[in-house]
Structure 1
Amino acid sequence: MIGPPGREELGRLWGLVVRSHAVITRYQDEGGAYPAAPTFSAYKGYAWLRDGSFTAEGISRYGDVVSAGRFHDWVDRVLDSRRVQVDELCAQVRRGEQPDESRMLPTRFTFDGKDGSDPWWDFQTDGYGIWLWSVVTHANRHNLDLERWRNGIDVAVDYLLAFWDRPCYDWWEEHVEHRHVSTLGAIYGGLTAIAPYTTAPVLETADRIRALVAAEGTQNGHLTKWLGTTTVDGSLPSCVVPFGLVSGDTAAATLTAVARDLDADGGVHRFTADVFYGGGQWILLSALLGWNLAAAGDTAGAWRHLRWIADQATPDGDLPEQVPHHLLHPESRAEWLARWGTVATPLLWSHGMYLILADELGLLPAHLPDSNRIDPNSTDPNLTDKA
């Protein structure tokens, strides 16, 4: 089906909006953290800044200022508690030293803000940039005083200015030896978002990121997975929307390349060599590409992705991390099932991204006329008479 949904389908899509908000808020920790996946063995008990910041954006768009604010309060407390650690790391850089990877800030935290007790691919800088973008966007949307999160903001800015160009693991916790374009895009987005609210030289660093990616992270007119390669990654559309690293022809070519190489029937793969659970299609990446299509004016393409996502929900309305359609490397799926069990379901980031794409297409409460507005607290998925 092409174009906006009819009344019956609209009710189904709205039902998943309500369910997504309910899932995210149900599992939010009392301290404010959004767990990545509350029942998945490898993620249980941990919160990522990357996942949580996108999830908070979806919740903020939904209009739940309290839940999103609690998440940002949690990040602020966690980062403020790392002030001394970041000061010591920055001092090492000023002395011309290279801090060991094990001393860097983690990519995921326990709900009380501590490092994990089990080994992980922890050194990733993108989440700190994504959080800066998310907290600024939330504050601006709801006319909130950004000073509420000032201590955490300053820690994130100092950390990124010191380590923005250091190789680290990517969004998928792989390839620590490379500088990843999506990571650089996330840092760029965070630094440019916070620029009006800090005296730190964030725009100078943002300009350096843009120049570096133009010189080494662009091939055949489109962005690449990391500097010096020609392949693409499903996270690259974030460098267009929301982070604004590129625009114009480069943005269009990047979306085209991602869709050509990684989009299959509306579901988007991470990258062509992906063997994690066989290399399935990721809900959140489908939403990310759909978000970009909506922003570019391709609403038919955006509706295609929203419908595909809704089709992947379990009978209870939970969205998984990925689905095993069009597996890139099916021979690898059994290994991960044996190692970690079934795919993470629900994944809160999937639900948060669904909310973002639904908002882009006018399905969130703020967009509905008063006469047709659906109770945002309703849990009734059969809303066709109200939509």
Structure 2
Amino acid sequence: MTSPVHTDLGALLAHSRSVITSLQEPNGAYPASPDFSAYRGYCWFRDGAFIADGVSAAGAVESATAFFDWCSDVLIRHESTIEEIVAGARSGRPLPDDRMLPARFTIAGDLGDDDWWDFQLDGYGTWLWAAVAHAQRHGLDAQRWRRAAELTVDYLVSSWQRPCFDWWEEHSEHVHVSTLGCIAAGLSAAASGGLIEGERLRSALEARDAIDRMLRHDGTADGHLVKWIGDDVVDGSLSSLIAPLGVIPAADPLAAGTVGAIERELSVDGGVHRFRADTFFGGGQWPLLTCFLGLAQAATGDRDGARRSLEWAASTATAARMLPEQVDDHLLDPSFRQEWIDRWGTVATPLLWSHAMLLRLAVELGEVVA
């Protein structure tokens, strides 16, 4: 592990919340990582939504609210683009991928000007889910985000069946199960949170039901969820569909099957890989994915396993209590590690998403963040 000393969990949790809130921009955006060359200056809807959910669970209410305000402002600013996308889909002439909404925006909420693997749908479902969960957790009025929610639902209903890049910004030719789960969670949240009504509500629920059928018919193999439709391997992100997203009920045999497959195929000495063919920085183990697995373990009744996942993720902290994107104890393909270091520098540290997931799992297990 990156830390040679025993981890003081309470101090690490307090530091994690402080890292996130202190690095948050005045307009509410969360930088993915403040110093990592490829991430600097950008905020992802997906990463940011999970970051906000983590600090919301840990009591940083104003921080999470500010992020969702940022999301709302960005979406309303790009309303005309969303309307064009929806109109194209309805007319049978969908816009090409490079005219869809991006996965990340600049801190100011603008489109980036560098090449990126941008067309991803997951973040738009995830921010809706996280915003409604935050409002319900703290007794807030989610109606402040109503117009942005309506735009998001229209976008997702029009486009959810399209192939796009996955969480890892790879394989744009596929429909990814984790992406479908994020979309389903967002549509469900918008409906249950009272942010949509009438025809928009009906369309959202129809899309949500269609996604559920696709997940269960085409998105599974051997009793577990799979990486993408038509595949048979697992991905570490699939734990999120069980918890915290709740798309697959914890009591469903598919939940236990997915947790078991990730434990068998992707977990080594407690830390979770993204997927078996991963070569990014050599294919290390990710603290945030280990925390997702821990949340799924807790939801399915394995709280001892969840506690071990929490302890492993905490053990990856540096001496300065910073959590990395990944660690290199058990690289899947070490020959690729230096190539990525030469390209982007050393692994992103701190990664705010890692800190947030540690908080989220710790709170789930009853830890108090002082």
- Residue of 210, 213, 221 corresponding to 1:211: 213
SS in 2 for 1:271: coil
- Which consecutive aligned stretches of 4+ in structure 1 deviate over 3 angstroms post-superposition? none
| Offset from partner CA, 1:27-46 (integer Å, 9 cap, x none) | 10111000000000000000
Does 2:172 match 1:158?
A: no
Task: Measure the CA separation in 2 of the matches of 1:94 and 1:181.
Answer: 24
What RMSD, in angstroms, separates the aligned Cα atoms of the two structures? Answer: 1.2
> How is 1:292-331 mapped onto 2 (pairs within 5 angstroms)?
292-331=296-335
Per the TM alignment, residue 216 of structure 1 is displaced from its structure 2 partner at its CA by 1.0
Q: 8 Å contact 1:127–1:186 — kept in the other structure? A: yes
Task: Measure the CA separation in 1 of the matches of 2:8 and 2:90.
Answer: 56
For this pair of structures, how many residues does the alignment match? 358
- Residue of 174, 177, 189 corresponding to 1:178: 174
Task: Measure the CA separation in 2 of the matches of 1:245 and 1:23.
Answer: 30
Q: 8 Å contact 2:286–2:327 — kept in the other structure? A: yes
Does 2:112 match 1:108?
A: no
TM-score, normalised to structure 2, is 0.95
Letter of the aligned partner of 1:221 in structure 2?
G
Task: Measure the CA separation in 2 of the matches of 1:179 and 1:94.
Answer: 20
Per the TM alignment, residue 243 of structure 1 is displaced from its structure 2 partner at its CA by 2.3
Which consecutive unaligned segments of at least 5 residues does structure 2 have? 1-5
**Corresponding residue for 1:52?**
48
**Corresponding residue for 1:245?**
247
- Residue of 354, 359, 364 corresponding to 2:358: 354
Task: Measure the CA separation in 2 of the matches of 1:205 and 1:145.
Answer: 25
- Residue of 288, 308, 320 corresponding to 1:284: 288
Task: Measure the CA separation in 2 of the matches of 1:344 and 1:33.
Answer: 18
Q: 8 Å contact 2:242–2:299 — kept in the other structure? A: no
Q: 8 Å contact 1:82–1:155 — kept in the other structure? A: no
**Corresponding residue for 1:77?**
73
Task: Measure the CA separation in 2 of the matches of 1:244 and 1:75.
Answer: 22
Does 2:14 match 1:18?
A: yes
Per the TM alignment, residue 342 of structure 1 is displaced from its structure 2 partner at its CA by 0.2
TM-score, normalised to structure 1, is 0.91
Does 2:265 match 1:272?
A: no
- Residue of 29, 32, 41 corresponding to 1:33: 29
**Corresponding residue for 2:94?**
98
Q: 8 Å contact 2:255–2:300 — kept in the other structure? A: no
Which consecutive unaligned segments of at least 5 residues does structure 1 have? 1-8, 366-375, 377-387
Higher relative contact order structure (alpha carbons within 8 Å, sequence separation ≥ 6): 1
Per the TM alignment, residue 114 of structure 1 is displaced from its structure 2 partner at its CA by 0.7
Task: Measure the CA separation in 2 of the matches of 1:309 and 1:215.
Answer: 33
| Offset from partner CA, 1:135-161 (integer Å, 9 cap, x none) | 000000111111111121111111101
**Corresponding residue for 2:191?**
195
Q: 8 Å contact 1:355–1:364 — kept in the other structure? A: no
**Corresponding residue for 2:3?**
none
**Corresponding residue for 1:341?**
345
Per the TM alignment, residue 99 of structure 1 is displaced from its structure 2 partner at its CA by 0.5
**Corresponding residue for 2:126?**
130
Task: Measure the CA separation in 2 of the matches of 1:122 and 1:17.
Answer: 32
**Corresponding residue for 1:373?**
none
Per the TM alignment, residue 205 of structure 1 is displaced from its structure 2 partner at its CA by 0.6
Letter of the aligned partner of 1:28 in structure 2?
Q
Per the TM alignment, residue 240 of structure 1 is displaced from its structure 2 partner at its CA by 1.3
Task: Measure the CA separation in 1 of the matches of 2:159 and 2:89.
Answer: 9
Per the TM alignment, residue 303 of structure 1 is displaced from its structure 2 partner at its CA by 1.0
SS in 2 for 1:322: coil
Letter of the aligned partner of 2:34 in structure 1?
P
Task: Measure the CA separation in 1 of the matches of 2:179 and 2:90.
Answer: 23
Task: Measure the CA separation in 2 of the matches of 1:62 and 1:71.
Answer: 15
Does 2:225 match 1:226?
A: no
Q: 8 Å contact 2:242–2:296 — kept in the other structure? A: yes
Letter of the aligned partner of 2:129 in structure 1?
W
| Offset from partner CA, 1:114-146 (integer Å, 9 cap, x none) | 111110000000000000100000000111111
